[in-house]
A and B are shown apart, each in its own frame.
Chain A
Amino acid sequence: EVQLVESGGGFVKPGGSLRLSCAASGFSFNNAWMNWVRQAPGKGLEWVGRIASEADGGTTDYAAHVKGRFTVSRDDSKNTLFLQMNSLKVEDTAVYYCSVQTYGYFDWLDHWGQGALVTVSS
């Protein structure tokens, strides 16, 4: 069974940093493309970024609103995905989900974690 467990959420002041982790199990993590998606309180889903498998180059992509501030990385030896968030803003307050991307002719997000809440406030 695929399991994704996010951790590292919490309260941080504007301008601060936080690192989220996503522990993965039940699938071949090193072959997986992984994504982060966030959801502000009472709002819709917003794609944040992804990282390809190392075999596919380990390349990263980001949404415009986080590019230059957030970094997605992975440690395949520990089956763990990370999201380093710097220069945080109040509008980054959200539940952050990690998710496995199924890719091929079509791409989609198949399995999701339960989410980690990040609150940015002074």
Chain B
Amino acid sequence: DIQMTQSPSALSASVGGRVTITCRASQDINNYLNWYQQQPGKAPRLLIYGAINLQTGVPSRFSGSGSGTDFTLTISSLQREDFATYYCQQSYITSWTFGQGTKVEIK
């Protein structure tokens, strides 16, 4: 299996602040990397697919970058509704794996 490692596991940020979450794959996954947001008690929601492509309806303050083994999710100006847990997920091989999650909390 491909291991996905996110950092940090949790962070505190202020409304309006900039947030960067990293995801590292244990092997080259090209750009087969998705990002999801999960709010407490809710199902996950796709934010970004193919490492850099914003899903329809997702605000433009979210962006993704990276290729190969290192990827980044950036929230340019954090809004109150963005406080949630974020997961990366590889779709490079048939057996998909998720990162352990990054919880974004209010400072």
Contacts from A to B (Cβ < 8 Å): 37, 44-47, 61-64, 97, 102, 105-110, 112-115
Q: Which of B44, B94, B95 contacts A45 (CB 8 A)?
A: B44
Q: Which of A63, A108, A115 contacts B43 (CB 8 A)?
A: A115
CA distance A64 to B94 in the complex (A): 11
List the one stretch of B10-18, B19-27, B45-53 in contact with chain A: B45-53
Q: Which of A45, A61, A102, A115 contacts B36 (CB 8 A)?
A: A45
Q: Does B50 lie within 8 Å of A106, measured CB to CB?
A: yes
**A-chain residues with CB within 8 Å of residue B87 when the two chains form the complex:** 44-45
**B-chain residues with CB within 8 Å of residue A44 when the two chains form the complex:** 85, 87, 98-101
With A108-B49, A109-B46 as known contacts, state yes or no: A45 contacts B34, CB within 8 Å: no
Query: Which of A44, A47, A115 has the most C-beta atoms of chain B within 10 angstroms of its own C-beta?
Result: A44
**B-chain residues with CB within 8 Å of residue A107 when the two chains form the complex:** 32, 91
CA distance A28 to B49 in the complex (A): 22
Determine the interface band of chain B, counting residues with CB < 8 A from chain A.
20 to 34
Q: Does B98 lie within 8 Å of A46, measured CB to CB?
A: yes
B72 at the A/B interface (Cβ < 8 Å)? Answer: no
**B-chain residues with CB within 8 Å of residue A45 when the two chains form the complex:** 36, 38, 44, 87, 89, 98, 101
With A44-B101, A106-B32, A106-B53 as known contacts, state yes or no: A64 contacts B95, CB within 8 Å: yes
B97 at the A/B interface (Cβ < 8 Å)? Answer: yes
Query: Which of B32, B43, B45, B98 has the most C-beta atoms of chain A within 10 angstroms of its own C-beta?
Result: B43
**A-chain residues with CB within 8 Å of residue B81 when the two chains form the complex:** none
15 contacts between A and B (CB under 8 A): A44-B85, A45-B87, A47-B89, A47-B97, A62-B95, A102-B49, A106-B32, A108-B34, A108-B49, A108-B89, A108-B91, A109-B46, A112-B44, A113-B43, A115-B43
